[in-house]
C-alpha cells in the first residue's frame, strides 16, 4: 500500500512539474505584439506619407480612436490563398490607453480589422464585405487570418528599430 501511495504521489509530482514547465515555455514563446510596439514605438518606422485613417465605422465599433491620429505601419503586400493582401498596423487609443488595431484587406472585396487586447490576444474583429456595412463578427470566423497575419507581425516586431523594420 505504501508503494502505491508513493508511486501515485511521484507520478502526480512529475505531471505537475511537466505541466508547469510547459506552461512557462508557452508563455515565453508567445509574443505580445502590443507590448513590443509600445516598448519600441519610437523606432517602429511609422509611415508619414499618404497616411490612411482607420474607417470611422471601425473606430465606432471598437470604441477606439480617441486622442491623436493613429500611427500606421505596413507589411509589404503578400499573396495569401492566391489573393493579394494588404496589411497595416494602427497604433491608436482605447479609453485613453494605447491600442493596436491590425488591418487585413483583400483588394476592394473585403477587409478585417483586429483589435488586440493588452496581452496581444485577439479582442474583437470587424469585417467589411464590399457593398455592405462593417459588422463585428465572432473572432473564431477570422482566427485563421489573424493567426497567419500575427506570424508576420511578430517577425516585424522583432526587427523594430533595425533598418529592416523602417520603410515598410
What residue segments make up the domains of the chain, in order of their start? 1-30, 33-158
Residue 68's pLDDT is 84
Residue 18's pLDDT is 37
152: exposed, middle or buried (Cβ count in 10 Å: 0-12, 13-18, 19+): middle
CA-derived radius of gyration, the chain: 20
Locate 31 and state its grid cell.
509574443
CA–CA distances in Å: residue 19 to residues 9, 29, 80, 110: 15, 15, 36, 41
Q: List pLDDT tens digits, range 77-133.
A: 998 888 899 999 999 998 888 999 999 999 888 999 999 999 999 999 999 999 999
Is residue 167 predicted with pLDDT exceeding 50? no
pTM of the entire predicted model: 0.77
Amino acid at each position: 500500500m505504501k508503494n502505491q501511495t508513493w508511486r501515485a504521489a511521484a507520478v502526480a509530482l512529475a505531471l505537475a512539474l511537466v505541466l508547469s514547465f510547459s506552461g512557462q515555455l508557452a508563455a515565453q514563446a508567445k509574443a505580445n505584439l502590443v507590448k513590443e510596439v509600445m516598448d519600441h514605438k519610437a523606432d517602429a518606422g511609422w509611415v508619414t506619407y499618404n497616411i490612411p485613417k482607420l474607417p470611422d465605422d471601425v473606430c465606432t465599433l471598437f470604441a477606439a480612436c480617441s486622442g491623436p491620429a493613429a500611427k500606421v505601419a505596413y507589411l509589404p503586400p503578400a499573396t495569401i490563398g492566391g489573393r493579394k493582401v494588404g496589411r497595416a498596423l494602427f497604433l491608436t487609443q482605447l479609453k485613453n490607453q494605447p491600442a493596436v488595431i491590425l488591418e487585413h484587406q483583400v483588394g476592394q472585396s473585403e477587409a478585417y480589422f483586429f483589435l488586440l487586447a493588452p496581452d496581444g490576444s485577439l479582442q474583437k474583429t470587424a469585417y467589411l464585405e464590399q457593398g455592405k456595412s462593417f459588422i463585428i463578427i465572432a473572432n473564431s470566423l477570422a482566427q485563421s487570418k489573424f493567426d497567419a497575419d500575427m506570424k508576420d507581425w511578430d517577425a516585424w516586431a522583432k526587427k523594430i528599430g533595425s533598418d529592416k523594420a523602417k520603410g515598410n
